Amino acid sequence: MPHDQDIEGDTSDISSEYECLQCGRIVRAETNPGECKECGSGDFQNRAKSVE
Ligand SMILES: [Zn+2]
């Protein structure tokens, strides 16, 4: 899977907010970020459930 860097200003509504359970960092991504850039943890929780 592609693992591109975050694109500033991209407000695509297909992305969701993920919260790092270790440091509380909020990351917007289409899929689970996998690894926190702040603390290196891989524990993310999806904050916004998809609305379908
Ligand atoms: Zn973190």
Task: Count the domains in the chain.
Answer: 1
CA of 8 to the centre of ligand 1 (A): 19
| Residue span of the structural domain in which 26 resides | 16-46
| 30, 13 Cβ separation under 8 angstroms | no
Is 24 part of any domain?
yes
β-pairing verdict for 26-29 and 16-20: antiparallel
Q: pLDDT value at position 15?
A: 86
Digit-coded pLDDT (tens) for 2-47? 666 666 665 557 888 999 999 999 999 999 999 999 999 999 999 8
Is 42 part of any domain?
yes
Is 23 part of any domain?
yes
Q: pLDDT value at position 48?
A: 72
Q: pLDDT value at position 35?
A: 94
CA of 44 to the centre of ligand 1 (A): 8
Q: pLDDT value at position 33?
A: 92
CA of 47 to the centre of ligand 1 (A): 15
Q: How far apart are CA 40 and CA 52, in angstroms?
A: 31
Query: Three-state DSSP class for 25?
Result: coil
Q: How far apart are CA 24 and CA 46, in angstroms?
A: 12
Q: pLDDT value at position 39?
A: 97
CA of 17 to the centre of ligand 1 (A): 13
